[in-house]
Structure 1
Amino acid sequence: MSDPFLLSIVVPVWMEAAGVVKTLEALQPLRAQRHELIVVDAGSTDGTARLASPLADRVIQSGKGRAVQMNAGAAVAKGNVLLFLHADTQLPSNALSCLDQFVQSDKAWGRFDVRLSGRGAMFHVIAWFMNQRSRLTGICTGDQALFVRREVFEALRGFEHLPIMEDIEFSRRVRLVSRPFCIQEPVVTNSRRWEKQGVWRTIFLMWRLRWRYWRGESPGALAHSYRSDVRNVKD
């Protein structure tokens, strides 16, 4: 094992009362080893913050948007390794030993492979493509539990305050420092959005959004499309 490191896990949440307890309970063994768990709520009205409070070291409030929330969590974090975890994603049981290998490496950042919770074969295919694409491009999506050395995150001034694609934008900058440290042990991400919206519809939507982003379209316009098509939320 390398010299001890302090991990700060930052979980941005909004209206996650239905699942936040399950997510945070799974992280309690890490807290028992003195690692830090920070929940950043964006003004939920369903009791998310209240449910999270006894299961986190800190629950703070911030403006809406994952980039804003993750930056707010990082600003109060004490750890020398920051890990950003979606509220519907669970780390593998051996996450700490995997991250210890990262700390011993010369890499500045990294991510886990991902597995979707759905049981159908198509979900395995989707996850395989997500992981292979990430290896080839050096780009990480939020579903893959991005982690980064604190000094690197601060030097890059964190996430750009974008309404969408903040993970991809950050990856593009941090991969100039190093290629990602890729952990093959997967995190498990809830497949609810794929199941609710339809697998093929969701695939085409996400690829279309990424294509529009790479062509330089405004993240604001992309966020509007995402809310309208996936979340069925109107501005």
Structure 2
Amino acid sequence: MAGLSVVIPTLEEASRLPLLLADLQRWPGELEVIVSDGGSRDHTRAVAQLAGATVLDSPSVGRGPQLRWGVGHSSHAWVLVLHADSRLPDTWHHKVGAILNRPEAHLSAWCFDFKVEAHGRPMLWLLERMVNLRSRWLQRPYGDQGLLIQRQLYERVGGYRPLALMEDLDLVERLSQVAPLRSLNCALLTSAERWQKRSVLVQAWRNARLRWLWRQGRSTEQLLRLYRR
């Protein structure tokens, strides 16, 4: 089995990170887990180190800079990027392993399907369907869906830019110009926290508005102010 580098950006993720790190232990080949930390003051670093992960102190805070730093320090040909509040499905290692064994796999980038951890909420069910349709037909997956990419393809498009917001959309828009983004055909479970703070419709509208403003050229500072409201 091919080696795999997993890069996880963190900031105060001590309560969520252990479950994801446990999920990663299913990988049957050589595994490198890099936690790119943005200055956590809780036990994030200790949790990661106890699980055998390499902890890096990112020079800048924000998913874009932290991911760029983490991927830049990884060593394997294949890189899997995950958010710390994600949970991998039981079969993830079989799905990813099968992809890595395909001779043409490096010509595409890959993502998981989108699934929210809360159950029994019809609007979340609808959200999942809409996001997955968007990912498959418009080639625009969320960062919550992870990203599996071969290093040469990642470097070809310039990798993550040091953006505090929209780093995922910025990367996949460049990727989609040179390679297809394809589904791994299994779902990555993401935290429902941000969808529970507000109604699903309100949060979806906020996300869409931020994406639109970003495309209009609004500054990162302006977007962050809106994001934090």
Q: Give the TM-score, by structure 2 length.
A: 0.91
**1:78 Cα deviation after fit:** 1.5
Alignment of 1:81-230 (within 5 A): 81-103=78-100, 104=102, 105-106=104-105, 107-119=107-119, 120-227=121-228, 229=229
Q: 1:59 aligns with which of 55, 59, 81?
A: 55
**Root-mean-square deviation (Å):** 1.6
SS at match of 2:90: coil
What is the CA–CA distance in structure 1 between the aligned matches of 2:211 and 2:127, rounded to whole Å?
16
Q: 1:130-169 CA distances to partner (integer Å, 9 max, x unpaired)?
A: 1101112111211011111111112222111111011001
Distance 1:101 1:216 in 2: 40
Residue 117 of structure 1, CA deviation? 0.5
Q: Which moved more, 1:152-161 or 1:165-174?
A: 152-161
Q: Secondary structure at the match of 2:66?
A: helix
> Bigger shift: 101-110 or 86-95?
101-110
Tell me if 1:21 matches 2:18: yes
**2:48, 2:79 → 1: CA distance?**
19
Q: Give aligned pairs, total.
A: 224
Q: Which runs of 5+ in 2 are unaligned?
A: none
2:43 maps to 1:8: no
Which residue type is aligned with residue 124 of structure 1? W
- Look up the equivalent residue of 1:88 and give its one-letter code: D
**Residue by residue, what CA displacement relative to the aligned partner does 1:61-88 show, whole Å, maximum 9, x if unpaired?**
1021111111111122111111110001
AA partner of residue 115 (structure 1): K
Pairwise CA distance, 1:102: 2.9
Structure 1 contact 102–181 (Cα < 8 Å) conserved: no
Cα distance change on mapping 1:75 and 1:135 into 2, 3 Å: same
Q: Would you say the 8 A contact 2:112–2:184 is kept in 1? A: yes
Whole-angstrom distance in 1 between the partners of 2:227 and 2:19: 26
Q: Which amino acid aligns with 1:102?
A: I
> Does the aligned pair in 2 maintain the 1:38–1:59 contact within 8 Å?
yes
In structure 2, the residue corresponding to 1:220 is in which secondary structure? helix
CA contact (8 A) 2:210 2:223 kept: yes
Q: Kindly provide the amino acid, as one letter, of the partner of residue 144 in structure 1.
A: Q
Deviating above 4 A after TM superposition, structure 1's stretches of 4 or more consecutive aligned residues are: none
Structure 1 gaps, min length 5: 230-235
Question: Structure 1's 23 and 139: CA in aligned 2 closer, same or farther, altered over 3 A?
Answer: same
Work out whether residues 2 and 30 of structure 2, in 8 Å CA contact, stay in contact via their aligned partners in 1.
no
CA distance in 2, matches of 1:41, 1:5: 26
Q: Could you tell me how far 1:96 is from its partner in structure 2?
A: 2.5
**Normalising to structure 1: TM-score of the pair?**
0.89
2:42 aligned partner, one-letter code: D
One-letter code aligned to 2:69: A
